[in-house]
Structure 1
Amino acid sequence: MDRIIDRIPEADFGLIDEIAKGNEKANVLFAAVDYGIFELLTQPKTADQVSEEIKTDSRLTEKFLNALVALNFIHKIENQYSNTKLAETFLVRKSPFYQGTLFEMKRRGLTDWQRISDALKNGGIKTGTENKSIIDRTFIVGHAEMAITGVMQRAVDVISALPEFKRAKKLLDLGGGHGLYSIALHQLKPDLEVVLFDLPHVTEIAKEYLEQYGMSNKIKIIAGDFTEDDIGNGYDIVFASDVTISGILKKVYDALNENGVLIYRRWTINDDRTSPLTSVLFDFMLAMMRSEHRVYTLGEYIHLLEDTGFSITRILDISSPQDPTKIIVAKKSKK
């Protein structure tokens, strides 16, 4: 009879264990944000001091703080706890890089992920938001917070180096959302006329960011639905980020000046639709939500653009593990 001690698995269980612990880690982080732990620990405090301030059980509070240490969000030195640089940068409300609303947006989606079994049986799930837009304040501010983690900076750095950008006089930020791309591009080229187009309730949020950065009188806002309304014309550049424009490419083409360019920043998925992981999970979520949208391959984007009359001049890969993004630069060709 085989000895159980001799039966060693040929595969490493580590990845499965790490994935299974993901929910535990996320909930520890969410609770810390809810209790304002990272605001408290901008200065060192003991577990008893933290417990007294947030009115929680002292024994559990110490173990909770130890879990945050293990997750590398806080330090523990001589029984005093304080933030790591990671927490100070992204988890303290006064930080310009605070991600609290993004966490709220992520947490909102956890319920849907827990319904995968039902979705597989029924071809999708009912979210309760079928008759209203998910593009609400939490969605817009959460995406703004994600943008400033480096996502927006990488894209703008690449775009600003393009010769088409350097000679452009008028740019449309189509589906510009929070407006941070419009702000950054105008700051780099103050003589550039920038127009931000998005839904009326979204542009109200964008106005707050424009005011925050002193851009209220420098960037023009047009409120509307780009699938139905006129988006204007005479643009040297149409910039679109994280929006689906496959159904209005002809409208975008016509809005550009001769030799104008579409600069399209978008997640892509590989040809067999199995990587990168972020894109695959997002594509799966869209399908679960019974969305008409999906994540496209780079080849599919190129095909759509060329069929509309664009010629592809550049494909720029600015991907990170969390942000599998490519920037496609497509020129309006003479017909």
Structure 2
Amino acid sequence: MNIPELKPQSDAKLIDEMAKGYQAAQVLYTAIDYNIFTLLEKPKTAKEVSDEIGTDFEITNKFLDALAALKLISEGDGKYSNTALARTFLVKGSPFYQGNLINVYAMAYDAWSKLPQALKEGGTSQKQKPDEKKNVFDKTFILSMAEANVRGPLHRIVKKIENIPEFKKAKKLLDLGGGHGLHAISFAQINPDLEAIVFDLPPVVEVTKEFISQYGMEERVKVMAGDFDKDDFGNGYDVIFVSHSIFYHTKETIHEPLEKIYEALNEGGILISNHWLLDDGKGSSTLALWELWLSVLGYPHHVYTTKEFVDLLKEKKFSDTQIFDITTPEDPSAIVIAKKGENKK
């Protein structure tokens, strides 16, 4: 075989990016940990940065050069400053700050390192018995989910829902498993006659209250503490909104929460579901990796095809199903709206 004539028919760039992806990620994680981008709201030299955060000058200088090569900061006249991308998403105080979300990604690295073990032995949390809901739904996690929403998904949801007739005339809405409450707050802002209630675990709704206060919506957005798998979440709702929560049930256990939702709605009321859905097997890498990660952790979770979920809703007596695709590469979501009452189609 003549080595000079030996050439692969495919480019290894994608494999190379995957194999080395942890390097750029670790640079970003460390920059968030040291608040580098907030520090660089005013341009600084490497020596000034090193002195302020108490780190080795030589490594700090190369660290800043790496951030510049990644186009998160820029260098000029011996000083480093943020790019527009960093100013928008990585500086504390920005309405689009992503620091908590990035910290959650960083904390997930340990779970990913257990993938070889999980392949042989199954998900890790099946062997440990922590208070899973307490551990998962801490403040950092809630803040990270809020950050993930304000960068795009929340606005796509609101745009699709604001002109739905049942929503426009709704007086009472439940945001079930609503976490940060930004959906409920947004819905109340676009429907001035709406009273919204965010139902979630007791530690979570304490964080929800902070968001409600931040947006001055205390009069029209309330919280209710409980576990929707165990506790009553009321009735008489015109709309029940559920986002990325009921799919944490297996195929066997999802029936009960759907039945509770149906019973809690007024006749003619609607369920609005925002979840990741497979388009008949055409799943994104985002979705596939998320499913794998949850399985490594040992959490029950199932992503339905659109048809599977619509059929399940019909089985639970919902009717007049509407589907709105709001998919992006980072967020393969679909909004499914279904009515309580007789099918009019």
For the aligned pair, the TM-score class normalised by the smaller chain equals over 0.9
| Aligned residues of 1:306 and 1:312 also touching (Cα < 8 A) | no
* Corresponding residue of 1:190: 192
TM-fit CA distance, 1:18: 0.7
Equivalent position amino acid for 1:238 in 2: I
> Which runs of no fewer than 5 residues in structure 2 stay unpaired?
248-253
Q: Distance in 1 between matches of 2:123 and 2:279?
A: 23
Q: How many residues align?
A: 333
* Corresponding residue of 1:252: 261
Q: Spell out the pairing of 1:95-244 with structure 2 (5 A cutoff).
A: 95-126=94-125, 128=128, 130-133=130-133, 134-244=136-246
TM-fit CA distance, 1:175: 0.9
Backbone CA RMSD of aligned residues: 1.7
Match among 260, 263, 269 for residue 278 of structure 2? 269
* Corresponding residue of 1:292: 300
> 1:236-263 CA distances to partner (integer Å, 9 max, x unpaired)?
1111111116331111111111111100
* Corresponding residue of 2:67: 68
| Aligned residues of 1:287 and 1:294 also touching (Cα < 8 A) | no
> 1:69-91 CA distances to partner (integer Å, 9 max, x unpaired)?
11111112233211011111111
> 1:49-81 CA distances to partner (integer Å, 9 max, x unpaired)?
222222222222221111111111111223321
TM-fit CA distance, 1:128: 5.0
Equivalent position amino acid for 1:77 in 2: G
| Aligned residues of 1:123 and 1:288 also touching (Cα < 8 A) | yes
Equivalent position amino acid for 1:276 in 2: S
DSSP 3-state at the match of 1:314: strand
* Corresponding residue of 2:335: 327
Equivalent position amino acid for 1:11 in 2: S
Q: Distance in 2 between matches of 1:330 and 1:230?
A: 21
TM-fit CA distance, 1:114: 0.8
Equivalent position amino acid for 1:214 in 2: G
> 1:91-142 CA distances to partner (integer Å, 9 max, x unpaired)?
1112121111112211111101011110001122248563332112121111
Structure 1 residues 129, 26: closer, same or farther in 2, change over 3 A?
Answer: farther
Q: Distance in 2 between matches of 1:110 and 1:305?
A: 36
DSSP 3-state at the match of 1:64: helix
Identity %: 47
Q: Distance in 2 between matches of 1:142 and 1:58?
A: 32
| Aligned residues of 1:270 and 1:276 also touching (Cα < 8 A) | no
Q: Distance in 2 between matches of 1:201 and 1:52?
A: 38
Equivalent position amino acid for 1:207 in 2: K
Q: Spell out the pairing of 1:30-109 with structure 2 (5 A cutoff).
A: 30-109=29-108
* Corresponding residue of 1:3: 2
Q: Spell out the pairing of 1:21-36 with structure 2 (5 A cutoff).
A: 21-36=20-35
TM-fit CA distance, 1:312: 4.1
> Which runs of no fewer than 5 residues in structure 1 stay unpaired?
none
Match among 303, 310, 318 for residue 311 of structure 2? 303
> 1:203-241 CA distances to partner (integer Å, 9 max, x unpaired)?
111111111111122212211111122221111111111
| Aligned residues of 1:269 and 1:280 also touching (Cα < 8 A) | no
Give me the TM-score of the superposition, normalised by structure 2.
0.92
Give me the TM-score of the superposition, normalised by structure 1.
0.95
